[in-house]
A = this chain, B = another copy of it.
Amino acid sequence: MASMLLSRQLTCCLQQNSRLLVFGHRYISQAAAKIDVDFDYDGPLMKTEVPGPRSRELMKKLNGIQNAEAVHFFCNYEESRGNYLVDVDGNRMLDLYSQISSVPIGYSHPSLIKLLQQPQNLSTFINRPALGILPPENFTEKLKESLLSVAPKGLSQVITMSCGSCSNENAFKAIFMWYRNKERGHNNVTKEELESCMINQPPGCPEYAILSFMGGFHGRTLGCLATTHSKAIHKLDIPSLDWPIAPFPRLKYPLEDFVKENQQEEARCLEEVEDLIVKYRKKKKIVAGIIVEPIQSEGGDNHASDDFFRKLRDIARKHGCAFLVDEVQTGGGCTGKFWAHEHWGLDDPADVVTFSKKMMTGGFFHKEEFRPNAPYRIFNTWLGDPSKNLMLAEVIKVIKTEDLLNNATHAGKALLTGLLDLQARYPHLISRVRGRGTFCSFDTPDDATRNKLITIARNKGVVLGGCGDRSIRFRPTLIFKDHHAHLFLNIFSDILANFK
């Protein structure tokens, strides 16, 4: 299959020679993937519209066994490299969405290929243990090399999970246990609690809640979904919990022109948070924790000031609620710091920080006081996957060696500057340009325009993602460099100039 594609691709290369000159494309053979440097392609190369005929054929087949309407196109991951995603029709696209922000150091990174080829790592990939009872010898060591080497300040404990939703679900549970333990003053559990919990009733299953924000996204399992409020399609028809939902600031841009308005908006939201905690307490529903994303991602890349989050942290402490920062999408370095909330400069660290996506494994960090007080309280069969920990250790080594946090800052600046320039030139198409590191976005006039821009960009060789009801979000990998930003900006500038 790969060789068929290779020859198809080579044929096309020759046919499209003129287009090649425009971006200076250069074909790199499959063997090049084994070389440590320069494994990236150097430009998009389009052969068909996307999805192309082969993708359409495969979509039809997949649709026979599951709803495949969300599929954009089918990919050839063997040929995908660095910042470039290659599809099954041989189209090669600059990927600024990176699998919903989940690819840390690009496709087919040589370090990960090498890792897979080392015989001593084989066992980790084929013998998946129940980590909570029978961990492998190097379990602690790999956690220290990977997750703990980048742990947010003050959070010494870590538990791994298989995905983002399970991370938040279990973080909630750790918070509920911590809160109940505080409440019962660390006395022994009563017989009534033990019996009532078995039938889902208080006091064993207390009337606790997690406060979340309108526009937030924290996953799609029932507990998470009760804190997710980004799109109706996620929540429709699913029973939920009566948990409080606060408004999230809706900032006006450019920020420097709306300093006072934005401060008022943030103050209003914070006041509402406190009101909700009190209001729910009155109806015997206790807010045990507050969950927030540093940048609301699915909900439309909604930012708030560092000051807003510092004050929110203070409110949590004041009311005895845990402060849970969901870094599933923002974590891993794309904002220029390893964790987006590190920009805030908190005096008192967050209590719990959840992660997944770019971290390759789900899980959460927490302060020592949130440690489960007995075995099997936070538990499941797999509790993550040591093969993901192994890969993450390698990824973090690459991030450090190649200085990829600073790279995200620099490349992000190039991207943001370029977007601001495009906004100045095309204010009817682009507004509210915003970002931190490469975690950038802008608004379009409406949903239809946004989707049209994404489709055109894809056919010009750039994969973009939408979020909210009219935003386009940038989620490149950490090896996205200045020159990728310029490449994108040139292509997108042409698109905007010709947009009808």
Binds B, one of A121-129, A411-419, A436-444, A491-499: A121-129
Q: Are A232 and B381 interface neighbours, CB within 8 A?
A: no
Nearest B residue to A102, CB-CB: B381
- Which residues from B are CB-within-8-Å of A85? 134
Chain B residues in 8 Å Cβ range of A201: 240, 242
Stretch at the interface among A15-23, A61-69, A341-349: A61-69
Are A71 and B135 in contact, CB atoms less than 8 angstroms apart? yes
Contact A126/B158 with A169-B222, A238-B205, A239-B176 known, Cβ cut-off 8 Å: no
Instruction: Identify which of A6-14, A213-221, A318-326 touches chain B.
Output: A213-221
| Interfacial chain B residues near A139, Cβ < 8 Å | 58, 62, 74
Stretch at the interface among A37-45, A111-119, A248-256, A399-407: A111-119
- Using CB atoms, name the residue of chain B closest to A210: B239
Complex contacts, A61 vs chain B, CB 8 Å: 140
In the complex, the answer to whether A137 meets B380 with C-beta atoms within 8 Å is no
Q: Which residues of B contact A378 (CB under 8 A)?
A: 67
Determine which of B127, B159, B204 lies in contact with A232 in the assembled complex, contact meaning CB atoms within 8 Å: B204
Question: Contact: B204 with A100, CB < 8 Å?
Answer: no
**Nearest residue, chain B, Cβ from A119:** B117
CB within 8 Å of B: which of A207-258?
A: 207-209, 214, 219-224, 226, 229, 232-243, 245
Q: Known interface pairs A239-B176, A239-B209. Does A126 touch B133 (Cβ–Cβ under 8 Å)?
A: no
Docked-complex contact A205 and B240, CB < 8 angstroms: yes
Which residues of A in the span 85-136 have a Cβ within 8 Å of any Cβ on B?
A: 85, 88, 99-100, 102-103, 107-109, 112-113, 115-117, 120, 122-130, 132-136
Chain B residues contacting A189 (CB-CB under 8 Å) are 236
A164 cross-chain contacts in B, Cβ below 8 A: 380-381
Q: Within the complex, what minimum Cβ distance (angstroms) separates A107 from chain B?
A: 5
Q: Mark A368-380, 1 if CB is under 8 A from B, else 0.
A: 0001111111111
Chain B residue contacts of A456, Cβ below 8 A = none
Complex copy number for this chain: 2
Decide if B135 touches A126 in the complex (CB within 8 Å): no
A237 contacts B129, C-beta separation under 8 Å:
no
Q: Chain B contacts of A113 at CB under 8 A?
A: 122, 126
Which of A192-200, A264-272, A307-315 lines the interface with chain B? A192-200
Determine if A76 and B137 form an interchain contact, defined as CB atoms under 8 angstroms apart.
yes
Contact of A130 among B100, B130, B159 (CB under 8 A): B100
Which of B74, B77, B197, B205 touches A123 (beta carbons < 8 Å)?
B77
Does B99 contact A381, Cβ atoms closer than 8 Å? yes
Contacts of A236 in B (CB 8 A): 177, 180, 189, 193-194, 197, 204, 377
Query: Among residues 154 to 210 in chain A, which have CB atoms less than 8 Å away from a CB atom of chain B?
Result: 156-159, 162-166, 169-170, 172-173, 176-177, 179-181, 189, 193-195, 197-201, 204-209
Map CB proximity to B onto A438-482 as digits: 1 under 8 Å, 0 otherwise: 000000000000000000000000000000000000000000000
User: Which chain B residues border A35 with CB–CB below 8 Å?
Assistant: none
Is A382's beta carbon under 8 Å from chain B?
Answer: yes
What is the CB-to-nearest-CB distance from A122 to chain B, in angstroms, rounded to a whole number? 5
Q: Are B130 and A99 in touch, CB under 8 angstroms?
A: yes
Q: Report Cα–Cα, A372/B103, bound state, in Å.
A: 27
Interface residue A357 (Cβ < 8 Å from any Cβ of B): yes
Chain B residue with Cβ nearest A62: B140
Q: Given the known A-B contacts A134-B99, A164-B380, A220-B380, are A159 and B66 also in contact in the complex, defined by CB atoms under 8 Å?
A: yes
Residues of B within 8 A of A72 (CB): 133-134
Q: CB within 8 A of A78: which of B120, B198, B234, B241?
A: B120
A356 is an interface residue with CB less than 8 A from chain B = yes
Report the bound CA distance from A117 to B122 in whole Å: 8
Q: Nearest B residue to A139 by beta-carbon distance?
A: B62
- Structural contact, A132 and B163, CB atoms closer than 8 A: no
A75-B136, A180-B237 are known; give 15 further A-B pairs, CB within 8 A.
Answer: A66-B158, A67-B373, A67-B377, A70-B375, A70-B379, A99-B130, A100-B133, A125-B387, A128-B360, A166-B221, A197-B235, A200-B226, A204-B235, A205-B240, A233-B376
Sampled A-B contacts (11; CB under 8 Å): A58-B139, A61-B140, A67-B374, A69-B374, A108-B127, A112-B126, A173-B237, A176-B238, A221-B224, A233-B374, A239-B241
